[in-house]
Amino acid sequence: MTELTPDLAYSPSHFASEFESTLTRQADAGRTLRGRHPPITVAYGDHPAACLNLFIPQGEGPWPLMVFIHGGYWQELDHTATDFLAERYLARGMAFASIGYGLAPTHTIENMMTQCIQGLEAAYHALEESGGVWSITLGGHSAGAQLAYWVAVSGRVPIDKLVLVSGVYDLTPLVETYVNAPLKLTKAQARALSPQFGELTALPACQVVIAENDPPAFHQQGHNFIALLRAANVQAELIELPGCDHFDVLEYL
């Protein structure tokens, strides 16, 4: 078998089928949901992308809250990309917040981390004012998984559970790939931003999710990270979802 180049090893679209139609389908589903169940929109920070949609169930609170951070390799998509997920959480009596952040090259990953922390705080306070918060689950997909880790370890808002989907937990291999063109990370910066080399012991219970058709490099990263979590005595569950890829995996959660 021919060894993959670094660019292909970290190219989710290379291992996915019809990823563009998947993203279009998800965007359409989110748009339809917003029409039927208009969310509360909250801005935070000093950039238009730093905003969230908060979907609140019918009835009286308090409610469990799922907060989700979108992916896109820190350079694509926005918070509305994950609005479609709110449908299933609303059906279970849970509130759902999709939070956004500014993208590279205009924003650094450190900027994004700060905005996501502000987003979690804004979602928490908005739901508190609307009826109360019962518990908080924080999720992130792809680049959003890396950001979700840093939001969780910030400790600014207590997190009950962390769900990390198809994430990159060691950013150092990305330095030599196309992904780094807008990020311009050095090896030292990439290491400092990598959850794999960060504090783990303070994390809440974690689920690490991998799609069957994620790139092999993502599988390896997920397995490495779950091993580190368990070594740090973090309650950690590895979930490998069959029949899906990096883009439609969110539809299988």
Residue whose pair of structure tokens reads 């979590």 in the numeric block? 229
Q: Rounded mean pLDDT of 187-213?
A: 97
Q: pLDDT tens across 164-182, in order?
A: 999 999 999 999 999 999 9
pLDDT of residue 2: 58
pLDDT confidence of 253, banded at 50, 70, 90?
confident
pLDDT of residue 193: 98
> Greatest CA span in the chain, whole angstroms?
57
Pair 70, 77: CB distance under 8 Å: yes
Return the structure tokens found at 65: 């809250």
Q: pLDDT tens across 30-62, in order?
A: 999 999 999 999 999 889 999 999 999 999 999
Q: Under DSSP, is residue 5 helix (H, G, I), strand (E, B) or coil? A: coil
pLDDT of residue 1: 44
Dihedral sign (CA 136, 171, 246, 84): positive
Domains and CATH numbers, the chain: 6-252 (3.40.50.1820)
pLDDT of residue 45: 81
Q: Rounded mean pLDDT of 20-24?
A: 98
pLDDT of residue 3: 80
* The model's pTM: 0.97
Q: Rounded mean pLDDT of 19-32?
A: 98
Tell me the β-bridge partners of 238.
208
* Cα–Cα distances in angstroms (integers) from residue 253 to residues 59, 103, 183, 250, in the given order: 25, 26, 29, 5
pLDDT > 70 fraction of the chain, expressed in percent and rounded: 99
Q: What is the DSSP letter of 1?
A: -
* Cα–Cα distances in angstroms (integers) from residue 70 to residues 139, 231, 238, 247, in the given order: 9, 28, 20, 11
27's CB contacts (< 8 A; 6+ apart) are 80, 81, 84
pLDDT of residue 13: 96
* Residue 197 neighbours by CB distance under 10 Å: 15
pLDDT of 74 strictly over 90: yes
81's CB contacts (< 8 A; 6+ apart) are 23, 26, 27, 30, 70, 71, 72, 98
198's CB contacts (< 8 A; 6+ apart) are 149, 150, 153
Reference 109, options 6, 38, 191, 40; nearest CA is: 191
